[in-house]
Amino acid sequence: MSQVNRLSGGRVDRGTTLSFAFDGKLYQGHPGDTLASALLANGVRLMGRSFKYHRPRGPLSAGSEEPNALVELRSGARREPNTRATVAEVFEGLVATSQNRWPSLAVDALSVNDRLSSFLTAGFYYKTFMWPKAFWEKLYEPAIRRAAGLGRLSGEADPDVYDKGFLHCDLLVIGAGPAGLAAALTAGRAGARVIVADEDFLPGGRLNAETITLDDAPARDWVAATVSELASLPNVRLMTRTTVYGAFDHGIFGALERVSDHLAVPKPGTPRQILWRLYAKRSLLCAGATERPIAFENNDRPGIMLAGALRAYANRWAVAAARDVAVFTNNDDGHRTARDLAAAGVHVTAVIDSRTDAPEIAGLPLFRGAVVTGTSGRLGLKSITVRNADGRTQEIACGALGVSGGWNPNLQLTCHHRGRPRWDETIAAFVPDGAPPGLRVAGAAAGIFSTHGALTGGAEGARAALADLGIPATLPDLPRAEDAPFRIAPLWQVKGKGRAWLDQQNDVTVKDVTLAHQENFRSVEHLKRYTTLGMATDQGKTANVPAIAVMAELTGKPIEQVGTTIYRPPYTPVAIGALAGRSRGADFRPRRLTPSHHWAQEQGAVFVEVGNWMRAQWFPRPGESHWRQSVDREVLATRQAVGICDVTTLGKIDVQGTDAAAFLDRLYCNGMAKLAIGRVRYGLMLREDGMVKDDGTVARLTENHFVVTTTTANAIAVFRHMEFCRQCLWPALDVQLISTTDAWAQFSVAGPKSRELLQRVIDPACDISNEAFPYMACGAVTVCGGLRARLFRISFSGELAYEIAVPARYGDGLIRALMAAGQDLGVTPYGTETLGVLRIEKGHPAGNELNGQTTAANLGLGKMVSATKDAIGITLSRREGMNRPDDLRLVGLKPLSPADTIVNGAHLMTGGSPVDAAHDQGWVTSSCHSPHVGGSIGLGFLKRGDRRTGEIIHVVNPLAGTDIRAQVVSPCFIDPEGVRLRG
């Protein structure tokens, strides 16, 4: 007994049968089916449980506005909760599971909530779980968390990929119904760049769900001809399965294309979804309208649906929701549903029209001035109770009830810039009033409900949009179409004793709105937050307007004065995966590789991410089982012989021009104007507020040519700052800047044998003896038989040291050459850990100390700040608050007991004082094991630290419960006179 409710006709491909499973049971459907249409065809109405009361629910709609029929789609890592069955396309092997129920959809333990409903009204969280206070964390919250939520996440990594993309157009048409297709045709024929996006997989919009004719032929003929013409135009891009979910500034729209959601598994390498960023000079919203229900007692049973949805299931999907169907309406459109259903062979048991002047409907039982007051059927509709105009009630058996309370234009995107819609009495609905610049609205989205109105509105909207851009367009010959007026007499609720649902997904009833009103939550924004109305995944597409109308009735205000809540993106949910795109895992951000990267990999280096750079952290050797063994060896080899480290990552900025020296003199707080050609100077850069921004070296290659270095992390920010100074502060200085970081492979060659090593690769014509090339010299040299190179005699380690740079493509060759040439010297590559140990031993500040909260004086570099010139930051660095007598100073720390270890972040306390913030003396910024000292050492900031050398201080780490004693020493643990680096 399969597909018992399948009718004839429709837009499904009966030539192919697809098998799928729902809650473990196998069913059959056809291509063109949604999960909801296929389940209805199989006689399944019950598809979910509601959020709060666990009420049995079936689909309310046939589209993206669906609040009820939410399922977990697929299985394993691809399991996706809260998928709307009304838009999920059926594919062979689809597996869906109902959610928010236990143990089964038909028997759900938590449906007890439904009996407790009088306690679970609006605001029950705020009122119920207040006392005793201690219960919140231990009892209430865990219990609520267990009960909350609808579907379950898979808990596994998403195996699919998501792309992003960017498209540009003259006109974006949102929606491919009659208005959108007419607009696209108009603009496409005019030669404009057009994008038409529709959330459905079948273009045509509402025309797919109707029996109406265009030029006396089925509407689908015109749709097919139009789509085929659009496809033939190279300037038109028709995007189906694509939801425009947000209107952002200046004609930028967000759109989500579901590329592979209709497939069991995406094709290898291809994305599941693409998040498009659309740049549209003009846009036309042709998003149609959404029907709204009427609130009456127990109006949420499976089988009670929007009338237009019943019609869509019959006409498009050839599905009758049940064999006996009734319709409850307050407008003429409900009659169309009844007629179409009857024509499709469905037995229409009653048309209940609340209007006493409702038009006649041939051959069908019409109840004028009547309303539905209640329903029965625990897991699906069995009958409805109708109160006639004369007050008599009667019960009518039916398996489905189509409800139409009118239609709401889909105007959400017009409100994404805080536009507020206007109430239109004639259609009893909000219509757009103003929109983001460049956006027009046509068709039902504009409140024009006739097909003729949609076609002409779309075409004229496109022509007007193109006229703005100076592109002439002529209106196409549009087909003849129905132009019936829309007649409605508003009816929002049928008052009764029981619960009448407004927001079915979040279980908000008329009673909840009444309670909110009683408790004075009357503003529509308060109503929303107090009752959670419209806050579910469907964003209240079917719920908001009826609830606003009920609130209007309660307050006695007209609806337009109650107003709407603010619509924000996204129009329908967008998965986090789509927002992340390819930026996941290893591809979260790009990686920068040093020129010696491939060589370091061969050496088995352990890498660390610094900024985006991958740097060698240390180079383990056979037999070394702990990183400390490697690092200690690298440190000692550098101090005793020679070590090599890739320092390409330091920012290198080329500064040229006749005013380059003057410019640099204003950027650094120490003097740069008189730096000699062929010399390097350490430079300290302040922020304008007087704090240290960055440090580095400034090398003068020629009179008008400098190369400055920045720290690895600050390279981009420093360049930006320098361009700001050049363009905004001193635009008449002759100075040109360009980054040259990547162009040069730069290696630090450090240690007493560094000169000897370099002399073996630097061409003999270049004299790098101590006399010819002293400490802080720089210049051009050639290496390995004429290759251009730059040599800087600078030292971060405190040893005799150089940095040598060659064009990056030769970096791999150079490190291999240095390693080969220095084998007998004990040359050792070292990584960032050793770099850190060497600089801590030498007392050089780095990122830990240059943290944006330190002054030059804190670092012990106060004397570098010029007293005689103006440079960035100097004036404000003199402020009193930054020059207190008890200011922090950088100090060295050495444990009294060699067994003790100093850790970063530990606080410095005076012996005997309480360990609290009030008595804090400072903290440890950097620490390491020093092979040179033979124990743990640290750098830190200490109040009046420059005057406390020799003092014994407590190094306290309350997190680990340690408290050790250390001596305050000079931050420079090695060669304080600087003999080594000048040797």
User: Using an 8 Å Cβ cutoff, are 330 and 488 in contact?
Assistant: yes
CB of 920 to another protein, least distance (A): 27
Cα 350–chain centre separation: 49
CA distance 884 to 494: 75
d(CA 972, CA 983): 18
Question: Cα separations (Å) of 955 from 43, 620, 849, 861, 900?
Answer: 75, 32, 18, 24, 10
CB of 602 to another protein, least distance (A): 10
3-state secondary structure (DSSP) of residue 414: helix
State the minimum distance, in angstroms, from the CB of residue 214 to another protein: 34
Q: What distance in Å separates the CA atoms of residue 383 and residue 311, rounded to the nearest whole number? A: 20
**Shortest Cβ distance from residue 118 to another protein (Å)?**
45
Which of 157/959 has CB closer to another protein? 157
> Which amino acid is present at 28?
Q
Q: For the residues of 654-705, what is the DSSP string, one character each?
A: EEESTTHHHHHHHHBSS--TTPPTTBEEEEEEE-TTSSEEEEEEEEEEETTE
Q: How many whole angstroms separate alpha carbon 210 and alpha carbon 709? A: 70
Cβ closer to another protein: 362 or 586? 586
**Residue 690 vs 843, nearer CB to another protein:** 690
- Residue closer to another protein, measured from CB, 586 or 899: 586
Considering the complex, state which of residue 599 and residue 796 has its C-beta at the smaller distance from another protein.
599
Question: What is the token pair recorded at 823?
Answer: 């084998």
Question: Of 538 and 803, which CB lies nearer to another protein in the complex structure?
Answer: 803
Task: Write the single-letter amino acid at 690.
Answer: G
Comparing CB distances to another protein, the nearer of 459 and 660 is 660
In the complex, what is the shortest distance from the CB of residue 168 to another protein, in angstroms, rounded to a whole number? 4
Q: Name which of 691 and 937 has its Cβ closer to another protein.
A: 691
State which residue, 763 or 887, has the beta carbon closest to another protein.
Answer: 763
Beta bridge partners of 56: 49
Cβ partners under 8 Å of residue 802, min gap 6: 748, 749, 750, 754, 755, 758, 768, 791, 792, 793, 794
Give the number of other CB atoms < 10 A from CB of residue 717. 14
Structure-block tokens of residue 624: 């070394």
Q: Which is nearer to another protein, 157 or 728 (CB)?
A: 728
Q: What 3-state DSSP class applies to 857? A: coil
Nearest approach, Cβ of 944 to another protein (angstroms)? 25
Tokens of residue 587, six digits:
């591809």
Amino acid in the structure at residue 217: A
163-174 burial, b if ≥16 CB within 10 A, otherwise e? bbeebebbbbbb
CB 958 within 8 A of CB 903: no
Min dist CB 80 to another protein, Å, is 21
| Minimum distance from residue 376 beta carbon to another protein (Å) | 53
Minimum separation from the CB atom of position 430 to another protein (A):
22
Residues 6+ apart with CB under 8 A from 43: 1, 4, 5
Which of 320, 319, 337 has the alpha carbon at shortest distance from 405?
Answer: 337
Least distance in angstroms from the C-beta of 166 to another protein: 4
> Please, what is the minimum distance in Å from the beta carbon of residue 266 to another protein?
9
Least distance from C-beta 613 to another protein, angstroms? 7
User: CB-wise, 13 or 734, nearer to another protein?
Assistant: 734
Question: What CA–CA distance (Å, rounded) separates 25 from 46?
Answer: 13
Q: Between residues 74 and 597, which has the closer beta carbon with respect to another protein? A: 597
Sheet containing 70-73, strands listed edge to edge, beginning at the edge strand earlier in sequence:
25-29, 18-22, 94-98, 70-73, 80-84
Question: Could you give the angle at the alpha carbon of 718 between the alpha carbons of 712 and 724, nearest 5°?
Answer: 165
